[in-house]
Homo-oligomer: A and B are copies of this chain.
Amino acid sequence: MIFYYAPQTVAVASHIALEEACAEYEHRKLDFSIAEQRSYEYLQINPKGRVPSLDTGEGIISETPAILVYIAQTFPKAQLAPLNDPFEFAKMQEFNVYLASTVHVNHAHKLRGIRWTDDRSAIDAMKVKVPQTMHDSFDLIENEMFTGPWVLGGDYSVCDCYLFCISLWLEGDGVDIGDFPKIAEHNTRMRDRASVQTVLPIHRLS
């Protein structure tokens, strides 16, 4: 497998999951500073021009919730998802899709406002609400979604990889993780895992 990523992006979530699964893979870094994700070569791999992408050998997958479940399904021994219970599986998916379609989107209004408007003052205006939208989303996760000790309860899952990844964005988004005691403790506990200790330096994160 080949894992295409850029440092400090949402690729961190899938990267941790690959490590948790003890997958054998090659990782290929894209340089966003020269817009390598928009290069002709990469657009053949992922026409959306985004990261991460996972070349599985059978074909290429993108979108974090899809990649995370693929890893869980192809490495079942790692027990990264409730694969045999449709309701629990749906709750896992619900969590991942909330991160993808609401929380990541909230965050993207800080640096990627150009996706939704070409008006310079509107792009600046969008940045203003990011601390509030991210705080509101994490409030909802802390109080309504996070079961504990892991996201889904007693069993670690790909949701933990994904939540950890996005929780790393809070400080830059003007939100104090200390406002969410369960998520803050989760963040600390995740750092004890070998997977996280392998992945963070690759992304120049601490």
Q: Which residues from chain A sit less than 8 Å from chain B, CB to CB?
A: 47-48, 56, 58-59, 61-67, 69-70, 73-74, 86-87, 89-91, 93-94, 97-98, 100-102, 104-106, 109, 115-119, 121-122, 125-126, 128-129, 133, 140, 143-144
Q: How far is the CB of A159 from chain B (nearest CB, A)?
A: 12
Instruction: Please report the C-alpha to C-alpha distance between residue A137 and residue B67 in the assembled complex, in whole angstroms.
Output: 21
| Main SS at interface, chain A | helix
Q: How far is the CB of A191 from chain B (nearest CB, A)?
A: 27
CB contacts (< 8 Å) of A69 on chain B: these are: 89-90, 93
| 8 more CB-based (< 8 A) A-B contacts, given A70-B93, A97-B100 | A62-B94, A66-B97, A69-B90, A70-B87, A116-B133, A118-B129, A119-B125, A122-B122
Residue of B whose beta carbon sits closest to that of A100: B101
CB contacts (< 8 Å) of A106 on chain B: these are: 116
Residue of B whose beta carbon sits closest to that of A75: B86
Q: How far is the CB of A149 from chain B (nearest CB, A)?
A: 20
Instruction: Please report the C-alpha to C-alpha distance between residue A86 and residue B1 in the assembled complex, in whole angstroms.
Output: 14
